Amino acid sequence: MHMTFEHVSCDLCGGEKYKLRYRKPDNWLWLNQFEFPVVECLNCGLVYVNPRPPESSMADYYPKGYHDNRDSEGHMLRYKIQAEFLPPLQDENVLDIGCARGDWLIYLKGLYPRIKACGIDSYADSTKSGDVHLMCRKLPECRFHDSEFDIITSWAVFEHLHRPSEYFKEVARILKAKGAFVMLVTNSESLYGKKAFVEDVPRHLFHFSETMLQKYAEKYGLIMTSCLYDDRLFDGRGIGTFYYWFLFKAGITWQHIYFSQFSKTQRLAGNIGAALDRIVFKKHWEAERKKSGILIAKFTKP
Ligand SMILES: [Zn+2]
């Protein structure tokens, strides 16, 4: 694997200056040991991975099968909850951005058979339903008409994009006036995003927050109508906060973690941290206090 990295300016404001929040390697796949810097724009506050793998090498970071099996029972429960975030539908034109194989749209069509369902995904190759129009493209390449969609959804997708601004701009163009755009993203202003190292770096290239989404909306002509913190779809708790705090205090680095080099004392420190995580994050108090690592934002177009 030939590794390249690109250094980028802020996607929201174009700012070049930032401060480092933390570094984190790809501790899921460990394709390499590079500790990706997660930075915060000094001008607008956007949190993003920089430098990062360019779009051309991103496929390496998604193992084969990453987008498969989204029609399992667990996913079906997720779709049931997702539907709660939408208004009751009749014959609307619905678009899902990053639809994988369109299982969410198939579910939605089961609820509302008269809707027109379109899904896009740069990686998906097929869908099980002839009722869902699937496009294997990036949103700006789809050439939809102005104000074509009544409802646009995007679940845990925008944090994966290389240029979310292009998507916000395009959503604002293709959404009907008074239509609804519903998105789920991770929250940079949570323990999950700040201290617990849960963000799936480098697949999560952007770590948004309510404030940042509001700035994007303002810039591209959308209005945020609500921002909900809900842990039911994905777990947004800060589990890992104490584990890593204790480990790093005990002198552990990501390299030690990679090679599993722990002394007895360090192992003990990790165990104490993990125990504290289990106690402190037993309940979903962060979601109740609007501090969860997962947020669901709704927008409309004036
Ligand atoms: Zn910025």
Residues 6-44 have pLDDT tens digits of: 999 999 999 999 999 999 999 999 999 999 999 999 999
How far does the centroid of ligand 1 lie from the alpha carbon of residue 289, in Å? 27
b/e map of 47-61 (b: 16 or more CB within 10 Å)? bbbbebbeeebbeeb
* pLDDT of the residue at 66: 76
Q: With bands split at pLDDT 50, 70 and 90, how would you rate the model's confidence at 59?
A: confident
How far does the centroid of ligand 1 lie from the alpha carbon of residue 216, in Å? 11
DSSP 73: H
- In the chain, the percentage of residues whose pLDDT exceeds 70 is 98
- Mean pLDDT over all residues of the chain? 94
Q: What is the pLDDT of residues 105-147, one digit of tens each?
A: 999 999 999 999 999 998 777 777 778 899 999 999 999 999 9
How far does the centroid of ligand 1 lie from the alpha carbon of residue 17, in Å? 8
Distance CA 241, CA 21 (A): 15
How far does the centroid of ligand 1 lie from the alpha carbon of residue 146, in Å? 28
DSSP 151: E
DSSP 182: E
The per-type count for the chain, helices as H runs and strands as E runs, is: 9, 11
Distance CA 120, CA 127 (A): 11
Structure tokens at 121: 């995904």
Give me the phi and psi of 15, to 5 degrees please.
-60, 145
Distance CA 83, CA 298 (A): 13
Give me the phi and psi of 273, to 5 degrees please.
-60, -45
Q: What is the pTM of this model?
A: 0.95
Q: What is the pLDDT of residues 158-192, one digit of tens each?
A: 999 999 999 999 999 999 999 999 999 999 999 99
How far does the centroid of ligand 1 lie from the alpha carbon of residue 163, in Å? 13
How far does the centroid of ligand 1 lie from the alpha carbon of residue 37, in Å? 16
How far does the centroid of ligand 1 lie from the alpha carbon of residue 10, in Å? 5
